[in-house]
């Protein structure tokens, strides 16, 4: 079992739509690379974001920054974080494990690929 499998099981059980990106995607495609975080691109519609947060928090993950995890589901809060803090991803950590989940916007990845 990969070290990332517990996070994937949590998200799959909660029916969260996600894409694995970044350093973790490399070994999943068969190339060697070690990283301690899982970069996820997700649908950030409020209900989808809340589903994701509840799934991870319900399994022991906590925000890396001192905010309520549910705040992430609010698009206006995320917009403020981006404008004021330049925060492009929201990190959740498992205090019992060095694993970290970094959550970014799926639509931003689509725009980047399309050159917008």
Give the C-alpha distances (Å, rounded to integers) separating 92 from 18, 32, 48, 82.
15, 24, 16, 17
Is 116 contained in some domain?
no
Into how many domains does the chain fold? 1
Count the residues in the chain: 116
Count Cα neighbours of 100 within 13 Å in the Cβ-side half-sphere. 13
Is 105 contained in some domain?
yes
d(CA 31, CA 48): 31
The CATH number that applies at residue 14 is 3.30.460.40
Instruction: Read off the pLDDT of residues 10-34 as tens digits, 9 standing for 90 and up.
Output: 999 999 988 887 776 666 666 666 6
Residue 113's pLDDT is what?
57
Query: What is 60-83 written as a DSSP string?
Result: T-EESSSS-GGGGG-HHHHHHIII
Quote the longest CA-to-CA distance of the chain: 40
Identify the segments of the chain with pLDDT beneath 70: 1, 24-36, 106-116
Is 62 contained in some domain?
yes
Residue 69's pLDDT is what?
96
Is 60 contained in some domain?
yes
Range of the domain at 61: 5-111
Kindly state the tokens that stand for 47: 């209900």
Is 35 contained in some domain?
yes
Strands 37-42 and 100-105: parallel
């Amino acid at each position: 079992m990969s070290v990332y499998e517990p996070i994937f099981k949590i998200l799959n059980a909660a029916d969260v739509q996600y894409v694995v990106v970044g350093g973790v995607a490399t070994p999943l495609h068969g190339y060697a690379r070690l990283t301690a975080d899982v970069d996820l691109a997700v649908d950030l519609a409020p209900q989808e974001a809340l589903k994701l947060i509840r799934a991870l928090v319900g399994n022991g993950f906590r925000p890396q920054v001192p905010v309520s995890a549910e705040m992430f589901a609010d698009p206006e809060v995320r917009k403020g974080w981006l404008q004021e803090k330049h925060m492009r991803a929201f990190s959740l950590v498992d205090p019992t494990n060095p694993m970290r989940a970094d959550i970014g916007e799926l639509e931003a990845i689509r725009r980047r690929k399309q050159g917008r």
